[in-house]
Amino acid sequence: MSRQYFGTDGIRGCTNKDPMTADVAMRVGQAAGAYFKRGLHRHRVLIGKDTRLSGYMVESALMAGFTSVGMDVVLVGPLPTPGVALLTRSMRADLGVMISASHNPFSDNGIKLFGPNGYKLSEEEEKAIEEAIDQPPLLAAPADIGRARRIDDAQGRYIHAVKSSFPESLRLDKLRLVLDCANGAAYQVAPTVLWELGAEVITLGVAPNGLNINDHCGSTDPSALQKKVLETRADLGIALDGDADRVIIVDEKGEIVDGDQIMALIATSAQKRNLLKGNTTVATVMSNLGLERYLSKLGIQLLRTQVGDRHVVEAMRAGGYTVGGEQSGHIILSYHTTTGDGLVAALQVLADLVQSDKKASELLHVFDPFPQLLKNVRYSSGQPLEDESVCEAISEAEESLKGKGRLLIRKSGTEPLIRVMAEAEDPDLVHQIVDHICETVRRAA
């Protein structure tokens, strides 16, 4: 069955265009609500969102859908995606929903679903819900229609859980930190966590207006953070994305530290503390070869998955592994969370920074990465990767990289983009290959 609604991370698209319309959101609520109504208890769904203007519309539509099939709704307002996952489990909800398009611009929105265990739904569960979206809904009897209420302490519960992931014996008193919340879901909770742990916190991206989420800020554009770190002589900069499930670090020299370096540091620390189950770290095919070689020297296996934090989590659960993530900054620590949590990952870095008595630039340059280049080619229609000229260019590139590096080409699961990535010890070869394939794809598209 072709997937009309669900992509690599829930349902996502431009607001008021299919599938991100109020009508579809209501039908998703009806389909998901009916699917998770199991047993005789009163059923409950928890709904959170980021700061996009369209969140009001999608929230109301979902609420109508869920209540119409007899499910009670708990609204928590703006809260990071990992907070929704956490509260879904701790409040014994049957289902959790996060309304967010993560790092995408404000014009997009999305619907992420979590099961009662706090994990994102499996592909089989998404398929079952997808099949029901276009079917007549199983509406409740008038007396069984669900109720809705808002709770005021959701942020406090999440703040407490995040702080619990930080060693009780440590404080951040001596650190000056710059925090960029991307005008997104963590704009209130993240500064509070760092301040309560004792840090001096300088904030960016904490004035959401519905339209400025991820707008020249956050983990996908840390240039303002880099500038502010240097300007204020901060010890470290932290950039979250719109729903705060990913993090990028900036050291005291203004240099960007990506998810691979963060994973390397956390995996090293976890191994020392006997928290690295199976001596394995899970990452995607996008992670740098330098990470793989570094971990190998420590006796740590790097298990690669498809792109997408859900695939990382699935591999971690299947193998019982505890540390995984993506180069983009999704870091999953199963001894703390069920999904990527940018704030929890940042606290693990800060704990090591406090204990090491090193500068961030020393601590976070864990390995020397292979030269790697990623470029995106936007297309409007068709299947450019099936074009004969593109296939030929890819074949030639793979031959020239044989034994020297890697080539990865894939369609984005959330945007009409072809992603072209190559890495090798020779940076000139990397640029030559990526530029040639991108130009060939553009012509074919």
Q: Is the pLDDT confidence value at 382 over 50?
A: yes
Q: Which residue has the tokens 């700061």?
A: 51
The string of pLDDT tens digits covering residues 52-93 is 999 999 999 999 999 999 999 999 999 999 999 999 999 999
Q: What are phi and psi of 387, to 5 degrees?
A: -65, 140
Whether the Cβ atoms of residue 312 and residue 330 lie closer than 8 Å to each other:
yes
Tally of CB atoms within 10 A around 64: 17
Q: Which residue has the tokens 């929230």?
A: 59
> Exactly one of 54, 68, 100, 102 is catalytic; which is it?
102
Peptide bond into 136 cis (omega under 30): no
Question: What confidence score (pLDDT) does residue 402 get?
Answer: 85
Q: b or e along 249-276 (b: 16 or more beta carbons within 10 Å of the residue's beta carbon)?
A: bbbbebebbbbbbbbbbbbbbbbeeebb
Hey, what domains does the chain have and what are their CATH numbers? 6-153 (3.40.120.10), 259-341 (3.40.120.10), 372-444 (3.30.310.50)
* 102 belongs to the catalytic site: yes
The string of pLDDT tens digits covering residues 258-288 is 999 999 999 999 999 999 999 999 999 989 9
* For residues 131-152, average pLDDT: 97
**Where does 153-300 have alpha helices with state H?**
154-164, 189-196, 223-232, 259-272, 289-297
Question: What confidence score (pLDDT) does residue 2 get?
Answer: 59
- Which DSSP category does 115 fall into? -
- Tell me what percent of the residues of the chain surpass a pLDDT of 90: 90
Question: What confidence score (pLDDT) does residue 90 get?
Answer: 97
The answer to whether the predicted template modeling score (pTM) of the entire model surpasses 0.75 is yes
Strand residue runs (E) in 116-174: 148-150
Choose between 302 and 404: higher pLDDT: 302
**Closest Cα to residue 369, out of 270, 257, 276, 271?**
257
Average pLDDT, the chain: 95
Q: Is the pLDDT confidence value at 127 over 60?
A: yes
Distance CA 366, CA 389 (A): 40
**Closest Cα to residue 411, out of 386, 433, 388?**
386
The answer to which of 47-61, 160-174, 224-238, 411-425 has the lowest mean pLDDT is: 411-425
Question: What confidence score (pLDDT) does residue 1 get?
Answer: 45
* For residues 191-206, average pLDDT: 98
Question: What confidence score (pLDDT) does residue 414 get?
Answer: 67
